[in-house]
Amino acid sequence: MTIGRNLTDPSRALARVELEAGLKEPVYEQIEIPEAFGPVDVLVDDLKIKRFAFVADDFGDWYLNDSPWGTRIGQPGLLANDLLQLFTTRYAPSRVVGLHTVEELWWEQPVRLGQVVRLSGRYTDRYEQRGQGSVVMEAEARDLDGTVLIRHRGVEIMRTVPGEVGGRGSTGGGGGAADRRITGEVDPSLPPVERLGADAVAGQGLAPLAKEVTFEQMAVFSRLGEFVRNIHNDLEKAREEAQLDVPIVQGQQQVCYLAERAVRALGAGWFTTGHLKAKFLRPVRAFETIEVAGVVRDVARTDRGARVDLDLWIRDAEGRLVTVAWADGELLGA
């Protein structure tokens, strides 16, 4: 059996197969608890890494040439959308009109070029809040020996109208470190840095990372190559089903930008110790230029270097916070 780089095999369309036949309607009432998804095996090949470099505008040397692990590795967000979208192996992806509200990821091992990864997940909870039905999904990517590479936990409103409910999020709450409210402010007396070093201190800002989000990048990230149509890659669906002017950027695509900013700050330690929890506050539209930045909240010295807590955020072109995240990971050798 040939293992592809996607959750599904789009070449089935050559045989005029109905690609979403037999899948369930993605609505709250159809959700089963528990409900399992996968396993699905995915190949991390050269094109998957290069395709992600395009959609995230992340062309780091470790991904295209060589890395500290002796081979090319995948970008930190390479498997994030595969994990999130696992539920669409049982629910029709082109009928999803949901809203991602919370995303949490843990990195335990880098994903290597040529590796086959096994994805599996499950719905663990469902609840209603403010008249919206949400579902909680947990998933992980493992190598074929069973070693965990990355873990995912996400919350999604299963069927809603994003144009009506976008902008309700807050910059705090959620338990643990996420009780800390993110303001997007840094200590102006400390110059912002691209990469943290041994002199990292609380209050130090991370140099902003600019991203111009093109529709082409959004469409590829949101599975246009698998013939999936949704409010992120199709103008008609965005307008008619979500009451939007133009398609909006997937929250998970924004998470990939945040993970890139974390790697730029912490380096190799992120791929084995990184943790990020993001909340999505308001939609980001196609064609917007956004800014990804952050601040050091705490530095705890360890035998291997330092454990660093970060506040990360994304601002839109008007300077508004659109996504916030609480992150932590090891800064090796600091």
Average pLDDT, integer, range 129-136: 92
Residues 10 and 131 in one domain: yes
CATH number at residue 199: 3.10.129.10
Average pLDDT, integer, range 17-26: 95
Q: Is the residue at 135 inside a domain?
A: yes
Kindly tell me the sign of the dihedral angle through the C-alpha atoms of 208, 209, 212, 215.
negative
Average pLDDT, integer, range 164-193: 72
Average pLDDT, integer, range 69-91: 97
The residue among 129, 162, 195 that closes a domain is 162
Contact 276, 255 (CB under 8 A): yes
Q: Tell me the pLDDT band of 178, cut-offs 50, 70 and 90.
A: low
Give the Cα separation of 103 and 122 in Å (integer).
15
Residues 143 and 43 in one domain: yes
Closest to 304 in 3D by CA, of 269, 271, 274: 269
Supply the DSSP symbol for 248.
B
Tell me, what's the pLDDT at 185?
Answer: 92
Q: Is the residue at 222 inside a domain?
A: no
Residues 205 and 144 in one domain: no
Kindly report the pTM of this predicted structure: 0.94
Residues 31 and 116 in one domain: yes
State what percent of residues in the chain have pLDDT above 70: 94
Tell me, what's the pLDDT at 180?
Answer: 85
**Token pair 């592809």: residue:** 4
Q: Is the residue at 85 inside a domain?
A: yes
Tell me, what's the pLDDT at 168?
Answer: 52
Give the Cα separation of 239 and 182 in Å (integer).
32
Q: Is the residue at 274 inside a domain?
A: yes
Residues 14 and 151 in one domain: yes
| Chain mean pLDDT for the chain | 94
Q: Before 39, cis peptide (omega within 30)?
A: yes
Give the Cα separation of 196 and 173 in Å (integer).
27
Asked if the model's pLDDT at residue 165 lies above 60, the reply is no
Q: Tell me the pLDDT band of 95, cut-offs 50, 70 and 90.
A: very high
Q: Is the residue at 243 inside a domain?
A: no
Centre a 10 Å sphere on the Cβ of residue 196 and count the other Cβ atoms it contains: 21
Kindly tell me the sign of the dihedral angle through the C-alpha atoms of 99, 104, 106, 107.
positive
Residues 144 and 20 in one domain: yes
Over residues 39-57, the pLDDT tens digits come to 999 999 999 999 999 999 9
Residues 87 and 209 in one domain: no
Residues 78 and 147 in one domain: yes
Q: Is the residue at 331 inside a domain?
A: yes
Centre a 10 Å sphere on the Cβ of residue 64 and count the other Cβ atoms it contains: 16
Closest to 90 in 3D by CA, of 117, 123, 133, 132: 123
Angle at 251 between CA 248 and CA 256, to 5 degrees: 120
**Enclosing domain of residue 55:** 1-162
43: helix, strand or coil: strand
Residues 127 and 3 in one domain: yes
Residues 266 and 148 in one domain: no
Tell me, what's the pLDDT at 48?
Answer: 98
Residues 144 and 255 in one domain: no
Average pLDDT, integer, range 282-305: 95
Q: How many domains does the chain have?
A: 2
Asked if the model's pLDDT at residue 119 lies above 70, the reply is yes
Angle, nearest 10°, between helix axes 46-56 and 251-266? 100
Q: Is the residue at 2 inside a domain?
A: yes
Closest to 299 in 3D by CA, of 334, 326, 323, 264: 334
Asked if the model's pLDDT at residue 173 lies above 60, the reply is no
Q: Tell me the pLDDT band of 1, cut-offs 50, 70 and 90.
A: low
Q: Tell me the pLDDT band of 82, cut-offs 50, 70 and 90.
A: very high
Q: Is the residue at 175 inside a domain?
A: no
- Residue with the larger pLDDT of the pair 173 and 150: 150
Kindly tell me the sign of the dihedral angle through the C-alpha atoms of 223, 226, 231, 235.
positive
Residues 6 and 115 in one domain: yes
